[in-house]
Amino acid sequence: MTELEMVKVTEEELHQLIQAKLEKAGLSKEHASGVADTLVFADAHGIHSHGAVRVDYYAERISKGGSNTNPNFKFNQTGPSTGVFEADNGVGHVAANEALKEGMKLAKETGIGVVGVHQMGHSGALAYFVEQAAAQDLIALSVCQSDPMVVPFGGSEPYYGTNPIAFAAPRAGHSPVVFDMATTVQAWGKILDARSRNVDIPANWAVDENGEPTTDPHNVKALLPIAGPKGYGLMMMVDILSGMLLGLPFGKHVSSMYTDITAGRNLGQLHILINPSYFTDLTEFKENINKMVDELHAVKPAKGFDQVLYPGELSNIVAKKYEEDGIPIVKEIYDYLQSDTIHFDNYDKADAFGEK
């Protein structure tokens, strides 16, 4: 495949374009800005699968009534350190962020904050949320369920979603350590990104309708769990914590992103916040994180590597580069953001992989 033309933009320009498009689709200025915050964060850190490539889908869902543009957010505290945030099918990015704030309050007051988000839409890259918590000297672990598009280990048809996990811990004098991963070899958004750039994918990411490996992102019919049975176990754990635990649909019962874009979604998410000062000396803890990073950097690199990085560090390296050079965006997506078009009717009634 031939890679498509790219343009480079600043964070400010990208934010303005995304916010304007989502406002035009029907979101309030506040909520459109909140969604743009998460999408720009993703693109600015090289997580293009969860950045501007998603705007057309969000705009179509919002404009067709599939996202509540005036949700009745409500936090129900269920114990000293626990609670459930009712998202009322509002955009997931904003709901997740508001729920995170409640969890951080609990963690600062009691040492632990565990908050589930009930009936939310897609919330983008989890790294955005855990990084905010770590900036407040908290350890954060966030998980969320997603629609079924992954074959279980040993199976030939989808059951679970990509069910991501994100973790962050504070450091002294440096950006937090942040780690964000799908429990599949690659997230579905990576397939979307490959489609948008018209490039092939590695053969171990996904399978076609016959269950055979495919390198064509347009032929993907199911994703593969990372490390076989280990990734399969992790995606089951995430689904239980962010689905069943909140009384929400689970596994193959989770609603698709595309089947009926006019209907609300019933997704769940769980934020677990830990206050290190309730367990150890905070200053020592943060210095030990620094020491760990230094020791990892000092490990003799394997052939083909310049240096050992901590998990997730590459996104910070990319962010610094993009800050200097600009954020690369597919020109077709950039042109869409600049246009008067709200959406292209690409997703409603499509299958789990966005194909009609």
Q: Tell me which residues are annotated as active site.
A: 122
Cβ-based burial of 154 (10 A; exposed 0-12, middle 13-18, buried ≥19): exposed
Q: Which residues of 90-108 are buried (b: 16+ CB within 10 A; e: fewer)?
A: bbbbbbbbbbbbbbbbbbb
Residue 52: which of 182, 147, 192 has the closest Cα? 192
**Structure-token match 């590695």, residue found:** 202
CB-based contacts of 253, cutoff 8 Å, min separation 6 = none
Q: Which residues of 76-88 are buried (b: 16+ CB within 10 A; e: fewer)?
A: eeeeebbbbbbbb
Ramachandran quadrant class, 326 (left: phi over 0; alpha: psi -120 to 50; beta: rest): left
Give the Cα separation of 175 and 168 in Å (integer).
10
Give the Cα separation of 293 and 302 in Å (integer).
17
For the chain, give the number of residues.
Answer: 356
Q: Which two tokens stand for residue 47?
A: 């997580």
Give the Cα separation of 260 and 279 in Å (integer).
47
Q: Which two tokens stand for residue 147?
A: 């629609």
Residues 102, 113 contacting (CB under 8 angstroms)? yes
Give the Cα separation of 145 and 266 in Å (integer).
10
Alpha-helical runs (H) found in the chain: 11-25, 29-44, 55-63, 92-110, 127-134, 188-197, 229-242, 282-298, 313-325, 331-338
Residue 223: which of 205, 202, 243 has the closest Cα? 205
3-state SS assignment for residue 337: helix
